[in-house]
A = this chain, B = another copy of it.
Amino acid sequence: MTQIDEQPLKVALLGCGVVGTQVARLIIEQGADLTARIGRPLELVGIAVRSLDRPRPVKLQSLLTTDADALVSRGDIDIVIELIGGETDAGRLIRLAIDHGASVVTANKALLASQGESIFPAAERAGVDLYYEAAVAGAIPIIRPLRESLVGDSIQVVMGIVNGTTNYILDKMTTEGMDYQTALVQAQDLGYAEADPTADVEGHDAAAKAVLLASIAFHTWVSDSAVYCEGISRVMPGDIRAARDLDCVVKLLAVANTLDDGRISVRVHPTMVPNSHPLASVGGAYNAIFVEAAAAGRLMFVGPGAGGAPTASAVVGDLVTVARNRARGVVGPRQSVYADREVAPIGALRTRYFLRFRVTDEPGVLAAVASIFANHHISVQTVQQMPVDEAGSVARDVAELRMMTHVAGEDDLLDCVAALKAAPQVRSDVRFIRVEGI
């Protein structure tokens, strides 16, 4: 049916690590299918690598070069696939590609989150595509559904498990009662966490994805500096046990939602989620994105969040779309930022909170604590008073209070926490976790 123009589209690949090798393999092995789907053949004309010394598949040897700038600047490249990661070189090369009229496919969430505000307009001015499905949640199709399928709707919430490393660690803490450090070391031993796990465990990776999800969902450029970011390194086994007692789990979520005043809230933090919520059961290295829209209702997308083959699937999906656009002389939908909504600071957040702290176990304490909450305009939904187990025996003079609030303001909550810490009846740190999905 489809007529094939025999003139190939020239593709340059930057980076040949785990994902890059898979992408090259798919382009070469599935060439006939991709040609039929695009209407023109693809020709992989060069692969830029840092060093020629590492072993690579034989088929790729003749394509390798260490001069990425020269490859991108050839002038005849139709599409550049950027998979080298990092921000400095990747940013320069993507801009160079755009300046030379190439469309770009990238999986580089950190780069787009920090420099997207200038890179997307540059692509628009140059009349080229800039696609990045692989940058968020690996192989799960989420960019197109948000940008295209739901474009006629009004999105209210996008939240998800977008970092497999932290999901694995929290899973271990939940199902096996491990503490954070033990679970982290196990994740490192298994290759699920990097030697330097900061980007994952402190939430920076998830925050970059939150930038991209929120920007699309709310037709607004969200600056990465506007995203509140709190990782999992301070989550304690006691938090997890307390969540379990309330039929909840603790997940690291990226959340973007609309506030009543029209602003949006974009944040990453450990979150208590009821077991009845679809995100609660997403375990291990899986990712999941939950979307709530005014007309569509509640949707969820689940799949592998990382890994060479899944990420390569997303990259090659973008490659085919971009190539098809190129073959027809068109570009896909632009990054839409017309709504230009204000991102509220975390203090403006309104949600539910779970608090946990120790108090002197004597008459009148609950009344004193309750009045501190009331003074800060925070309505308490449930209170549990729990015995404190210390070194195998129940402590006599202290008890743990566990309190779930109704929806409250974050600034009020922080003031309330400060007041609790200063109260004579409170005998420990006051821990709180934000709650979603109730």
Contact = CB atoms under 8 A, between A and B. Distances in A.
A333 to B, nearest CB: 6
A317 B2 contact: no
Nearest to A281: B281
Contact of A153 (B150, B317, B330): B317
A315 B152 contact: yes
A344 interface: no
Given A37-B338, A139-B299, A312-B295, A317 B150 contact: yes
List the number of copies, as a whole number: 2
Interface residues of A, number: 62
11 contacts: A1-B121, A1-B337, A33-B154, A148-B321, A149-B314, A152-B315, A278-B302, A295-B312, A296-B304, A299-B304, A321-B333
A324 interface: yes
Given A36-B219, A150-B141, A153-B316, A310 B297 contact: yes
Given A1-B337, A140-B299, A303-B296, A313 B145 contact: no
List the 3 closest pairs (A to B, CB-CB), nearest first: A152-B316, A141-B149, A139-B296
A144 interface: yes
A180 interface: no
Contact of A150 (B293, B300, B313): B313
A151 interface: yes
A299 B328 CA distance: 30
A333 B324 contact: yes
B295 A151 contact: no
Interface in A215-265: 219
B297 A152 contact: no
